[in-house]
Structure 1
Amino acid sequence: MTAQAPRAVVVGGGIAGLAGAALLARDGYAVDLLEQRGELGGRAGSWSAGGFRFDTGPSWYLMPEVFDHFFRQLGTSAAEQLDLVPLDPAYRVFFEGQAEPVDIVADAAANVATFERLEPGAGAQLERYLASARRTYDLALDRFLYTSFTSVRPFLAPEVLRHAHRLAPLLLRPLEDLAAAHVTDPRLRQILGYPAVFLGSSPDRAPSMYHLMSALDLTGGVLYPRGGFARLIEVVAALATARGARLHTGCTATAITTRAGDGRPRVAGVRYTGPTGDELELGADVVVGAADLHHVETALLPPWLRTYPQEWWDRRTSGPGAVLVLLGVRGRLPGLAHHSLFFTRDWRANFDAVFGGRVPAPASAYVCKPSATDPSVAPPGDENLFVLVPVPADVGIGGGGIAGRGGPVVEAIADAAIDQIADWAGVPDLRERVVVRRTIGPADFAAGLNAWRGGMLGPAHTLRQSAMFRAGNASRKVAGLYYAGSSTIPGVGLPMCLISAEIMAARVRAATRPPAARAVVAR
């Protein structure tokens, strides 16, 4: 890297920050990334104890095309970087009051047969639903997900105009209604509606546009990277480092500094507190806020330079918070798949509670058992469980702890979830077999990740917080300040965060055209 190379500082070492650092370094920038915690990964963290290793965040590898596209930008591939294992069953669903769970497998025809068995006629309806989902997914991937919405051009493409009569209703109709128009069995409606949770929303709040997610999980699109999602973080960090980016942990950004510019202020750098407590500053031509956007805007910028001030956030809807329960369990748990979903009977009441500020009881829950696929995450013969219970995004619920020493509300939610799994999955002695236990609550998301309201994902994907209505990826008040991550376009989840990093890097290239920029692989 030459002394004349333009300088970039990335704030936040989650997947979006790491991906952004790698892409900017590829483009010829001298990149420094500042991460306040002692390890990289952000929400995609890792924790180990007693011979068990837990991912503490994302656990579904969906939208493989997005991962492939990102790795191609860096001259490699997902196949080269990761050992990806198809999951079969993709996931298992337990329903309150139903004796038998339902497996969704890695074969669309088999899933059609399952729907038909549970409700005559539902098989053909699922085929129609999946055909629509695939068309919508392909269109979104080709035309919308990789755009910054700074131009109307994506909307004027002939392919988009041909489908305009379908797209408008999909934006205005809730996902719950679209599912109900295809199937009547409550279990099948829940299977079609649950992807809204991936988007930090609920089936009655998410636009039915998001039925596109069913084109993945119901057709064999669920994978797992051996080594877990901590391995994904290691890979992306290594790619960034190999291209010259410097990744600093234990460094807390305290302010984005500015200087006079042409018509509006420009970034000058980032002040931060180093690992030894020293107050330091890095100069920059470009700054990327890849930490929680609410924190970047309201804590690192003065009020007059905020594109998204507090009053903007006051009008927004947060996705849910979560209580996470990490369990090391002695012996096997054959009743659980790699991914298992536990759905309560009164789903609407469950979601209304979460988005209405109340902890649901009983609560729907998600359980990941990566030891079903990856022997490295647990001692031989034992199981690793990651349990997620959606709760309100409310730091007042409290934080977690180790061995039951978290806040009382968080530990009570964890106890109820363990008992629910034990009952529904037929493991009556589950509590007695737990040898490692850690809980994480909304207060931990706020303290460790500066997460807005302690949410686990970011702003919910409602109509007014999706696509062009979501926060953009460039400051309107400060030249040279860009954003990436789950709070910005295109949205929440690992694939969306990778896309946000690509959108950011493309926008930086268009604005600055660094002299050392290398060729970029086109889609």
Structure 2
Amino acid sequence: MRPRTAVVIGGGITGLATAALLSREGLQVTVLEKQPETGGRAGSWETGGFRFDTGPSWYLMPEVFDHFFRLLGTSAADQLELVRLDPGYRVIFEDTAAPVDVAATREGNIALFESLEPGAGDRLQKYLESAEEVYGMAKKRFLYTTFASFLPLLRPDVLRNGPRLARLLLEPLSTFVAKRFTDPRIRQILGYPAVFLGSSPFTTPSMYHLMSRLDLADGVLYPMGGFHRIVSVISDLARAEGTKVITGAEVTRIRTSAPSGPGRGRSHLRRRRPRAVGVDYRDAEGTVVSLDADLVVSAADLHHTETALLPEELQTYPETYWEHRVPGPGGLLLHLGVQGTLPQLEHHTLLFTRDWEANFEKIFGADTSVPDPASLYVCRPSATDPGAAPEGHENLFVLVPVPSDPSLGAGGIDGAGDPQIEKMADAVIAQLSSWAGIPDLAERIIIRRTVGPQDFVADLNSWRGTLLGPAHILKQSAFFRGTNASRKVEGLLYAGGSTLPGIGLPMCLISAELILKRLRGETGTEALPEPPPWSAQAASWPDGLASSAVPPGGLASSDVPPSSSPPSAGAGA
């Protein structure tokens, strides 16, 4: 029976995107978010005229965003004001005087690589051609599939490229790059995208060299208003479709019905699996509330969903499963409000240590420790967005990958975090001051907030305090990553960075679409068809129907009509 009601656990970008698509499909959807505000990892913190994004800050794969918006009858151009960054980002290398500015265009980066290493320009051209081919295949065959069936993968293009794909899966990215380039700066620039995948270039499959197509060929964009603006837009679109969002609602249990009646299988005696029938949650006043639903979608951390919200006998991924998983890195985050300007930094600036492999080994190895000095990332949105900081001030977001170890502690405001976290933050500020040539940086900081791995556990129920989710190593990529549907409970689906297809904002939007594919029984590997523009569709209807028709809603049930209210002005409609 087709579900008529759904509850989505988690009001991050995945949960809101999922809710928007399900509501447009005709379901009555409720989103339950533990925190007082929606956003999850893509949150926002404002104080003293500064506006800080608390998580994602790279806008890559723009066509994925646009496709998602078109599924909702709009477009990224209608909803967001996107600015192309030039340069795309700056890289500061330890013990190297001159930074490297990565260009905004493919041609600019070919010339840049040639200036760093004779002959590297032509080799980058071939590298990017390979990246584009693999990226195209990944989007067509591997990212938009639930892997509910492997038959759609038995296509001539996949079979023809089988040996090549096998090599790319078995060879580490670091080795793949080293075979083509000798300059250590180039090797680091091409290896760094592994961090976007929550992994190390020394363990990430070389298939992910496709990531270089995103920044070196397509360029890097920024949504004015910050990345929380994307969350706000999707939240507005979901509400316009009829989604109900409840904040301060901590889900404590996924409720299931007892198995009953014959199910599918060779034996008519086989009984159906239990079915999800709703959730229990604790509201902002501490009252436990039961909410019924035909479909439950958890966009929360998969480890938390399985081990905390379900009894052991109904867990597809019990604690024993996670004992053999590899987490992505933890993170030390700093939000800094700074007096004066910081021309030494671009919108995106990366600091890379000389001993690159040892740095990653400390984060991902058997005997972990916090790297010192650390390779780190700095975002200066005030370089592009005047609304990010008061006039005459700068906004800095600093991310330091560290081991996924909650015992490192939690952060705080104005030095109030755990001593170890604050000591690490002091060292990072000193490193940034020295490497970037900002000798008075520490004295100019007027706003300081730190976030540690323990905060990710407390606020996001993150497995082992990981910043992003399970790392994208071979055994945790594509169909090895797991399933987005419970094998023990009917009507229970999963979405978000800890399940298919993986880490990152574009992947989260695809993850939401995979829920819709599951609901429709769609097992194909390509993205869902986009509905025609509203005006074009209305023009094709018989006279007298256009004025009374509901917005395009796919398989909407007449009993549960989709919302016909327009997106709010806040959504950029």
Q: TM-score interval w.r.t. the shorter chain?
A: over 0.9
1:85 maps onto 2:49 in alignment: no
1:260 maps onto 2:258 in alignment: yes
What residue is the counterpart of 2:308 in the other structure?
Answer: 299
Give 1:463 deviation, angstroms: 0.1
Question: For 1:484 and 1:5, how far apart are their aligned partners in 2?
Answer: 17
Question: CA-to-partner distance for each residue in 1:34-89, whole Å, 9 max, x for gaps?
Answer: 00000001000100111111000000000111101111110000000000111111
Question: For 2:144 and 2:472, how far apart are their aligned partners in 1?
Answer: 17
Question: For 1:485 and 1:456, how far apart are their aligned partners in 2?
Answer: 13
What residue is the counterpart of 1:390 in the other structure?
Answer: 401
Q: Aligned partner of 2:468: which letter?
A: L
What residue is the counterpart of 2:484 in the other structure?
Answer: 473
SS in 1 for 2:253: strand
TM-score by length of 2: 0.88
Question: For 1:247 and 1:158, how far apart are their aligned partners in 2?
Answer: 44
Give 1:165 deviation, angstroms: 2.6
Give 1:128 deviation, angstroms: 0.8
Question: For 1:392 and 1:382, how far apart are their aligned partners in 2?
Answer: 32
Question: CA-to-partner distance for each residue in 1:482-503, whole Å, 9 max, x for gaps?
Answer: 0000000110110001101100
1:436 maps onto 2:478 in alignment: no
Backbone CA RMSD of aligned residues: 1.5
SS in 2 for 1:435: strand
Question: CA-to-partner distance for each residue in 1:463-514, whole Å, 9 max, x for gaps?
Answer: 0000000021100000000000000011011000110110011101229x76
Question: CA-to-partner distance for each residue in 1:193-239, whole Å, 9 max, x for gaps?
Answer: 00000000000010001000100100143100000011000000001
What residue is the counterpart of 2:244 in the other structure?
Answer: 246
Alignment CA distance shift 1:5-1:207 (3 Å): closer
Contact 1:5 1:30 in 2 (8 A): no
Answer with 401-410 or 443-452: which moved more: 401-410
Q: Which segments of 5 or more consecutive residues in structure 2 lack a partner in the other structure?
A: 264-271, 523-554, 563-573
What residue is the counterpart of 2:97 in the other structure?
Answer: 99
Which of the residues 276, 285, 290 maps onto 2:299?
A: 290
SS in 1 for 2:341: coil
Contact 1:474 1:483 in 2 (8 A): yes
Q: Which segments of 5 or more consecutive residues in structure 1 lack a partner in the other structure?
A: none
Give 1:166 deviation, angstroms: 1.6
Question: For 1:468 and 1:154, how far apart are their aligned partners in 2?
Answer: 13
Contact 1:489 1:500 in 2 (8 A): yes
1:403 maps onto 2:414 in alignment: yes
What residue is the counterpart of 2:318 in the other structure?
Answer: 309
What residue is the counterpart of 2:509 in the other structure?
Answer: 498
Q: How does 1:90-129 map to 2 (within 5 A)?
A: 90-129=88-127
Give 1:155 deviation, angstroms: 2.4
Answer with 411-420 or 326-335: which moved more: 411-420
1:60 maps onto 2:58 in alignment: yes
Q: Aligned partner of 1:297: which letter?
A: E
Question: For 2:425 and 2:561, how far apart are their aligned partners in 1?
Answer: 50
Contact 1:6 1:514 in 2 (8 A): no
Question: For 1:518 and 1:32, how far apart are their aligned partners in 2?
Answer: 15
Alignment CA distance shift 1:102-1:154 (3 Å): farther
SS in 1 for 2:179: helix
Question: For 2:517 and 2:158, how far apart are their aligned partners in 1?
Answer: 22
What residue is the counterpart of 2:381 in the other structure?
Answer: 370
Give 1:518 deviation, angstroms: 9.1
Contact 1:86 1:220 in 2 (8 A): no
Alignment CA distance shift 1:154-1:99 (3 Å): farther
Question: For 2:310 and 2:396, how far apart are their aligned partners in 1?
Answer: 40
SS in 1 for 2:217: coil
Q: Aligned partner of 1:17: which letter?
A: G
Question: For 1:418 and 1:360, how far apart are their aligned partners in 2?
Answer: 14
Give 1:150 deviation, angstroms: 1.6
What residue is the counterpart of 1:224 in the other structure?
Answer: 222
What residue is the counterpart of 1:276 in the other structure?
Answer: 285
Question: CA-to-partner distance for each residue in 1:157-182, whole Å, 9 max, x for gaps?
Answer: 12222222321111110000111011
Question: For 1:319 and 1:413, how far apart are their aligned partners in 2?
Answer: 20
Q: Rg larger in 1 or in 2? A: 2
Question: For 2:62 and 2:179, how far apart are their aligned partners in 1?
Answer: 29
1:335 maps onto 2:377 in alignment: no
Percent identical across equivalent pairs? 61
Alignment CA distance shift 1:339-1:154 (3 Å): farther
What residue is the counterpart of 1:414 in the other structure?
Answer: 425
Answer with 476-485 or 399-408: which moved more: 399-408
Question: For 2:120 and 2:408, how far apart are their aligned partners in 1?
Answer: 41
What residue is the counterpart of 1:176 in the other structure?
Answer: 174
1:426 maps onto 2:437 in alignment: yes
Question: For 1:332 and 1:146, how far apart are their aligned partners in 2?
Answer: 43
What residue is the counterpart of 1:204 in the other structure?
Answer: 202
What residue is the counterpart of 2:356 in the other structure?
Answer: 347
Which of the residues 461, 464, 470 maps onto 1:459?
A: 470
Give 1:107 deviation, angstroms: 1.2
Which of the residues 375, 379, 401 maps onto 2:390?
A: 379
SS in 2 for 1:218: helix
SS in 2 for 1:141: helix
Give 1:515 deviation, angstroms: 3.2
SS in 1 for 2:186: helix
